Structure 1
Amino acid sequence: MLKSMLVDYSNPNSLAHRARTRRWEEMVRRFPELGDMRVLDLGGTPQSWTHAPVTPAQVVCVNLDSHHECREGRVTGLVGDACDLPDALRNERFDLVYSNSLMEHVGGHSRRQRFAETVYTGGDLHWVQTPYRYFPVEPHWLFPGMQWLPFRAKVAVVRHWPHGTSRQHRRPPTVTEAAAKAAEVELLSATGMRTYFPHSQIWFERFAGLPKSLVARS
């Protein structure tokens, strides 16, 4: 029941469904010509664009997971690192660089810097969303305040907490695997986001009046 109300995108009353709808509305308002744009999606999948209210003229998704390598209409999925683009894309320039809930996963300060450089050099405009560190519920494991716990306590949550937003956040069988999962996510503050995107506007996506996620946009 908890997962259905929070992260079930097929449930129109869920937090995830309502948040995604509001986010798309804001994005379309910000970029009214989205349907005519060439979009570089860092970390996304071709399947995720089936939920979009507007399909751009072309979308290229870059994802480390080879399962998402495909072409679906105007959307193409390529295997690659968002912090170090494949050779085929390094000289490309898009109308919009888009990323949803990836930046907290790329791994460490230097990798986040490289990710931001990819965003700035990859297109004229950008929309980069990441969960907000100070929202009271950690968004991947749906555990209150998990992001502020000591690392050992985080590992215990990963091993024993039964809720999560995707299969990759289900309970791992060993402490070593749980530690790797806990270390994989580093949520950002507004100050951190401004550090990586000093020339961007930071928009606060809110839920119940509280900032839920951050969007660096131009």
Structure 2
Amino acid sequence: MTLLSTRAANPDRAGSLAHRTRARRWTELLRTFPDLAEMRVLDLGGTPASWRAAPVRPAQVTVVNIDPGVAGDPEPDVQFLAADACQLPALLPGVEFDLVYSNSLLEHLGGHANRARLAEVVAASASHHWIQTPYRYFPVEPHWLFPGMQWLPFQVRVQISQRWPYGHIRPGGRAKAIRDVAEVELLSATEMRAYFPESDLWFERFAGLPKSLVARK
């Protein structure tokens, strides 16, 4: 990882932008759900490791991620399910949760239909939720850490992805770059409100500018 990406994007590095952002987000999450330690949480798209490092551990967490490689070692209060979060209800019949949590998954689902399905899963799985996604109109694209990349033509974004070494997504060949660029679709506040019409929309800010969106209920 380059020096720039380490300083800016590594959430485990104290003082990094990602570390400060995560700390502020946790403060707001705990303000919204002060009884988090007593809740049964369904995490869509997360990792067990993120909950092991969390400042507050819920009573029970079920993590759903399509990548089985992030499972890690099993723990009594953190369960892992390798599955598609958009197809979840049939896989957890009769299981009840207090809170659905999702961090930076919504922009990776591959189009409106899948985002709508995820919103249905969220509504059906618990009475409360916290769904975060990067804001389309923040001036720096968060996956590549490239200014304004999300507003450029597709071909230009592919060329950037092939060469730009500073973000979470590593450079590679053209085929990889096409897949990476096609897979990321940042959302506007209008879209977020449409998917979660009964939620309060919180704008997470950096330097006064909205950086990400959180639909919470």
Question: Under a length normalisation based on structure 1, what TM-score does the superposition of the two structures give?
Answer: 0.95
Deviations, residues 94-121 of structure 1 (Å, cap 9, x unaligned): 1000000000001100100000000110
| C-alpha RMSD of matched pairs (Å) | 1.2
Question: 152-161 or 85-94: which moved more?
Answer: 85-94
Question: 15-24 or 156-165: which moved more?
Answer: 156-165
- Whole-Å separation in 1 of the counterparts to 2:75 and 2:148: 39
Unpaired segments ≥5 residues, structure 2: none
How far is 1:86 from its partner? 6.2
User: Within 5 Å, which residues of 2 pair with 1:1-218?
Assistant: 1-69=3-71, 71-85=74-88, 87-165=90-168, 169-173=169-173, 175-218=174-217
- Whole-Å separation in 2 of the counterparts to 1:7 and 1:159: 19
- Give the SS at the match of 1:67: helix
- Whole-Å separation in 2 of the counterparts to 1:42 and 1:123: 12
Between the aligned residues of both structures, percent identity stands at 59
- Give the SS at the match of 1:35: helix
How far is 1:51 from its partner? 2.1
Aligned partner of 1:170: which letter?
R
- Whole-Å separation in 1 of the counterparts to 2:106 and 2:39: 23
Deviations, residues 45-75 of structure 1 (Å, cap 9, x unaligned): 1011122111000000000001133522311
Question: 23-32 or 85-94: which moved more?
Answer: 85-94
Aligned partner of 2:170: which letter?
R
Please tell me whether the aligned partners of residues 136 and 188 of structure 2 are also in contact (alpha carbons under 8 angstroms).
yes
Deviations, residues 90-146 of structure 1 (Å, cap 9, x unaligned): 432210000000000011001000000001101110000000000000000000000
Please tell me whether the aligned partners of residues 93 and 121 of structure 1 are also in contact (alpha carbons under 8 angstroms).
no
- Give the SS at the match of 1:191: helix
Deviations, residues 131-182 of structure 1 (Å, cap 9, x unaligned): 00000000000000000000000100110111112xxx11122x12211110
Count of residues paired in the alignment: 214
- Whole-Å separation in 1 of the counterparts to 2:159 and 2:82: 33
Aligned partner of 2:211: which letter?
K
Please tell me whether the aligned partners of residues 80 and 86 of structure 1 are also in contact (alpha carbons under 8 angstroms).
no
- Whole-Å separation in 1 of the counterparts to 2:5 and 2:112: 31
Please tell me whether the aligned partners of residues 45 and 65 of structure 2 are also in contact (alpha carbons under 8 angstroms).
yes
- Whole-Å separation in 2 of the counterparts to 1:68 and 1:77: 9
Unpaired segments ≥5 residues, structure 1: none
Aligned partner of 1:133: which letter?
R
- Whole-Å separation in 1 of the counterparts to 2:93 and 2:142: 32
Question: Under a length normalisation based on structure 2, what TM-score does the superposition of the two structures give?
Answer: 0.95
- Whole-Å separation in 1 of the counterparts to 2:97 and 2:82: 18
- Whole-Å separation in 1 of the counterparts to 2:206 and 2:151: 20
